[in-house]
């Protein structure tokens, strides 16, 4: 009587097996099934007696065999009940299986899973199961997929992290094939980093694997990232160097060197070494391009995709860097197409939606950063003001973050929202975009996140656009890059593979920023009421050595002035970097002040108001920080360059209605900084103009900006139809 337990009539099944036992009393499987159905009917004692009566009749070998048969049946039923989401029922069966075979390690793991679903898991329950003790026994046969599922849930329970680490160590120590688990550990670490924002525990989890296999490259990569995020700079740099030392593959060396550059820039004090690493990166990438390397592994291609990310932070030579970026992306796509074969053509020709000029356009936004992040704070205004009658908005959120209110806004503001973990198949996301019949896919991340490479290379939408992010990626499958009259020079099109689509006034606009009560006061940081505060609050990557020297020259020339520096990953490393340069420039380090990150963006903005002048970074300007500065009416000094990243603040200032503080040379940067520090009246005039600009300046008219973006989308669609007809 083998049936799906979802459709079984339990009283009838009980009667059936009672009759079967009368007819065939020696067939033990009848007892196993009878006991199971009694248990499912809630008759636990009767079930136990039924099993006990059958098992105790045999000799030692028979008892062992019968126990194995019974445990297999119960374990299968546990899995079945769990699939039906009958977690309480599955848990009850699992508890009985524990009594029959306490050493059934997969049942113990499944019991942990069920305890999370029933929300009864705590450290006492965890320890009572004694899984780590069972794992130390010989000949353990653990199911890696089950461990993966359990681990992925356990990382969400911070109070259990100590026990989770012990479990991971025991599992790895007992593994017959260690490589079954490297992907599992790495995936759990990614969840900890991205969704749970707990890179410290992610590093500890990865270290459990590295302790057994010190040269596993995939785990070392994730570990280097975690070390860098948590401010363990020496470990992060050394891990990247180790990867470089054990690699013989040219493409791998490019990615590992990219990791090294990241670690060196975050550490603040390793500027010269970072510049050398950038030169090495240029040489490595040139070799990859010249050799036209054949890359068989998609993971390696994806890593090349981000390998030029740090160039704009150190050099402002788009006429050199952009062509190299374009060539590298062409090589990546060429290899990807060779690997994917006919499948890529199937994806590209699956489109069946309407191709008329008069239609509601489906716009898809693809990003890892639709959350509390610079991209999220800016993009939210477009979502808020989109015309729902003429545009359907779809969001594709990569590695969603738990408990993020801004991410919830994007989900609620979309016609449809899809959340995708990077541990899932890229094809799943691509197929979802195809299924949604997106007309224009907008990439918000550019080369900041490698997961999107394959999606964009497939080109699941007829039109693909890059907006926000880092800069244009150079992917040949991207049609347009959104800009404006200021953020890119007129000659830029010559070194962009994408068509530059210039909006009439500004490529970005926001309706303002929420602000909370400030928590930072002058007396807390020992700055007098009449002191002039210059503020630098950009991330570590943006602290270019020469630009920092210019900031210090300004402080030197303005009496009673102070440079207030907000540290990000490591305040102490930042302090050493600035104090060393201050001494070289003949400035007393007492004129420097250092503060840590604020707990929220709203408090950060409130505390930003302490500044008299904000000093922008170069060759990579601020973006969201610049918007916040201008919204608060604080004068800003920016150095304008040639690349997109070096002209962000320039276009924002123009579109906020001011030109004071825009410098075209290093000398002008210092001159504006000194002038603003010494001229209080000028600062007040700028502040007044900025506040007045809130009423009608393009930078703050998010609704008008949205109409311009929508107009651009419609024009892009018409051009696409013309090309299709032609």
Token duo for residue 511: 């309706």
Interstrand relation of 391-398 and 592-595 (parallel, antiparallel or unpaired): unpaired
Degrees, nearest 5: CA angle 401-404-408: 100
> Which residue, chain included where needed, has tokens 């374990």?
75
- Look at residues 207, 279, 213, 278 and name the one whose alpha carbon lies nearest to residue 236: 207
> How far is 282 from 320, CA to CA, in rounded Å?
10
CA-CA distance, 692 to 676, in Å (whole number)? 19
Average pLDDT over residues 600-615: 93
Residue 160's closest CA among 115, 194, 97, 211?
115
What's the CA gap between 98 and 209, in Å, rounded?
Answer: 29
Bridge partners of residue 663, in order along the sequence: 639
Nearest-angstrom CA–CA distance, 263 and 281: 14
Asked if 454 contacts 376 with a C-beta cutoff of 8 angstroms, the reply is: no
The residue count for the chain = 726
Average pLDDT over residues 59-72: 92
Rg (the chain; Cα; Å): 30
pLDDT at 2: 47
Cα distances (angstroms) measured from residue 499 to each of 328, 420, 477, 491: 18, 29, 11, 12
List alpha helices for 349-463, DSSP H. Answer: 374-385, 405-412, 426-436, 452-458
Across the chain, what does the average pLDDT equal? 92
Verify cis geometry, omega within 30 degrees of 0, for the bond prior to 34.
no
**Residues 283, 276: contact at Cβ < 8 Å?**
no
Which three-class secondary structure string do you get for 344-370?
HHHHHCCCCCCCCCCCCEEEEEEECCC
> Is residue 354 pLDDT above 90, yes or no?
no
Phi-psi region of 253 (alpha: psi -120 to 50; beta: other; left: phi over 0): alpha
C-alpha distances (whole Å) from 532 to each of 392, 585, 686 are 49, 19, 16
Residue 407 CB contacts under 8 Å (≥ 6 apart), including other chains: 370, 371, 372, 376, 397, 400, 401
Is the distance from CB of 707 to CB of 391 less than 8 angstroms? no
Reading the block at residue 447, the tokens are: 């080369």
Task: Specify the pLDDT at position 352.
Answer: 54
Q: 11-18, long-range: CB within 8 Å, 24+ apart, which pairs?
A: 11/41, 13/37, 14/38, 14/41
What's the CA angle centered on 395, arms 394 and 400, to 5 degrees?
155
**Contact call for residues 720 and 463 (beta carbons, < 8 A):** yes
Q: What is the pLDDT of residues 165-217, one digit of tens each?
A: 999 999 999 998 898 899 899 999 988 987 788 999 999 999 999 999 999 99
Phi–psi pair at 720, nearest 5 degrees: -60, -45
CA distance 186 to 390: 43
Which residues have a Cβ under 8 Å from the Cβ of 188 and sit 6 or more positions away?
A: 148, 151, 152, 155, 202, 205
pLDDT tens figures, 451-463: 888 899 999 999 9
pLDDT band for position 6 (cuts 50, 70, 90): low
Task: Give tens-digit pLDDT for 484-535.
Answer: 999 999 999 999 999 999 999 999 999 999 898 889 999 999 999 999 999 9
Q: What is the pLDDT of residues 361-411, one digit of tens each?
A: 999 999 999 999 999 999 999 999 999 999 999 999 998 888 899 999 999
Q: Which residue has the tokens 């794992």?
A: 135
**Can you give 148-173 as a three-state secondary structure string?**
HHHHHHHCCCHHHHHHHHHHHHHHHH
Mean pLDDT (whole number) for 685-692: 97
Confidence of residue 341 (pLDDT cuts 50, 70, 90): confident
| Domains with residue ranges and CATH for the chain | 344-502 (3.40.50.11380), 522-700 (3.40.50.2000)
pLDDT value for 129: 93
Handedness of CA 206, 207, 210, 212 (dihedral sign): negative
Structure tokens at 492: 């830029």
Q: Hey, is 183 helix, strand or coil?
A: helix
Would you state the structure tokens that stand for residue 528, as one six-digit string?
A: 């007098």
Single pTM value for the model: 0.87
Within 10 Å of residue 53's Cβ, how many Cβ atoms? Answer: 12
Lowest mean pLDDT among 13-27, 336-350, 392-406, 629-643: 336-350
With cut-offs at 50, 70 and 90, classify the pLDDT of residue 223: very high
Q: How confident is the model at residue 619 (pLDDT cuts 50, 70, 90)?
A: very high
> Is 60 exceeded by the pLDDT of residue 287?
yes
């Amino acid at each position: 009587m083998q049936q799906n337990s979802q459709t079984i009539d339990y009283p009838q099944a009980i009667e059936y097996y009672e009759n079967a036992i009368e007819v065939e009393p020696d067939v033990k499987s009848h007892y196993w099934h009878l006991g199971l159905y009694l248990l499912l009917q809630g008759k636990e004692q009767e079930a136990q007696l039924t099993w006990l009566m059958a098992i105790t009749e045999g000799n030692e070998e028979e008892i062992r065999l019968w126990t194995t048969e019974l445990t297999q049946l119960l374990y299968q039923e546990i899995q079945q009940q769990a699939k039906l989401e009958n977690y309480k029922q599955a848990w009850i069966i699992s508890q009985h299986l524990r009594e029959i075979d306490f050493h059934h390690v997969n049942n113990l793991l499944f019991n942990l899973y069920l305890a999370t679903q029933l929300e009864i898991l705590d450290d006492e329950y965890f320890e009572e199961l004694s899984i780590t003790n069972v794992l130390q026994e010989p000949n353990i046969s653990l199911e890696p997929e089950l461990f993966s599922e359990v681990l992925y849930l356990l990382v969400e329970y911070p109070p259990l992290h100590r026990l989770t680490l012990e479990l991971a160590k025991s599992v790895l120590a007992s593994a017959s094939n260690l490589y079954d688990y490297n992907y599992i550990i790495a995936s759990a670490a990614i969840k900890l980093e991205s969704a749970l924002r707990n890179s410290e525990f992610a590093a500890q989890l990865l270290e459990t694997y590295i302790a057994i296999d010190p040269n596993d490259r995939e785990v070392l990569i994730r570990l280097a990232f975690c070390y860098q995020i948590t401010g363990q700079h020496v470990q992060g740099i050394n891990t990247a160097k180790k990867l470089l030392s054990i690699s013989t593959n040219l493409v791998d060396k490019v990615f590992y060197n990219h990791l090294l550059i990241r670690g060196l820039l975050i550490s603040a004090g390793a500027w010269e070494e970072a510049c050398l690493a950038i030169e090495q990166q240029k040489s490595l990438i040139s070799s990859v391009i010249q050799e036209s390397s054949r890359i068989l592994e998609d993971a390696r291609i994806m890593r090349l995709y981000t390998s030029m990310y740090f160039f704009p932070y150190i050099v402002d030579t788009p006429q050199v860097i952009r062509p190299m970026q374009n060539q590298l992306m062409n090589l990546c796509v060429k290899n990807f197409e060779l690997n994917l074969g006919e499948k890529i053509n199937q994806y590209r020709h699956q489109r069946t939606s309407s191709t008329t000029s008069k239609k509601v356009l489906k716009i898809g936004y693809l990003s890892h950063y639709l959350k509390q992040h610079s991209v999220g704070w800016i993009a939210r205004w477009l979502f808020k003001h989109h015309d729902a009658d003429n545009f359907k908005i779809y969001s594709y959120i990569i590695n969603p973050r738990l408990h993020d209110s801004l991410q919830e806004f994007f989900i609620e503001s979309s016609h449809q929202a899809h959340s995708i973990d990077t541990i899932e198949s890229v094809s799943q996301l691509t197929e979802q975009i195809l299924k949604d019949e997106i007309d224009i896919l907008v990439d918000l991340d550019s080369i900041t996140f490698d997961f999107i490479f394959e999606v964009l290379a497939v080109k699941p939408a007829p039109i693909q656009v890059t907006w926000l992010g880092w800069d244009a990626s150079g992917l040949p499958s991207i049609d347009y890059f959104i800009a404006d009259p200021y953020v890119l020079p007129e000659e830029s099109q010559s070194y962009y593979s994408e068509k530059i689509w210039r909006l009439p006034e500004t490529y970005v606009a926001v309706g303002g920023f929420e602000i909370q009560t400030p928590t930072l006061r002058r007396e807390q940081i020992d700055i007098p009421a009449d002191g002039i505060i210059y503020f630098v609050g950009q991330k570590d990557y943006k602290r270019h050595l020469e630009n920092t020297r210019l900031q210090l020259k300004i402080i030197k020339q303005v009496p009673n002035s102070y440079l207030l520096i907000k540290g990000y990953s490591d305040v102490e490393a930042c302090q050493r970097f600035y104090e060393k340069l201050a001494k070289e420039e003949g400035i007393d380090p007492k004129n420097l002040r250092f503060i840590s990150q604020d707990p929220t963006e709203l408090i950060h903005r409130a505390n930003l108001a302490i500044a008299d002048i904000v000093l922008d970074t170069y060759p990579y300007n601020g973006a969201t920080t610049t918007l916040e500065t201008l919204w608060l009416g604080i004068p800003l000094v920016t150095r304008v360059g040639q690349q997109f990243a070096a002209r962000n603040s320039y276009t924002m200032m123009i579109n906020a209605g001011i030109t004071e503080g825009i410098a075209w040379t290093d000398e002008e940067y210092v001159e504006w900084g000194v002038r603003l520090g010494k001229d209080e009246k000028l600062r007040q005039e700028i502040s007044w103009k900025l506040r007045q600009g809130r009423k009608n300046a393009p930078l703050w008219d998010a609704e008008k900006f949205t109409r311009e973006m929508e107009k651009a989308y419609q024009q892009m669609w018409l051009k696409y139809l013309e090309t299709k007809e032609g």
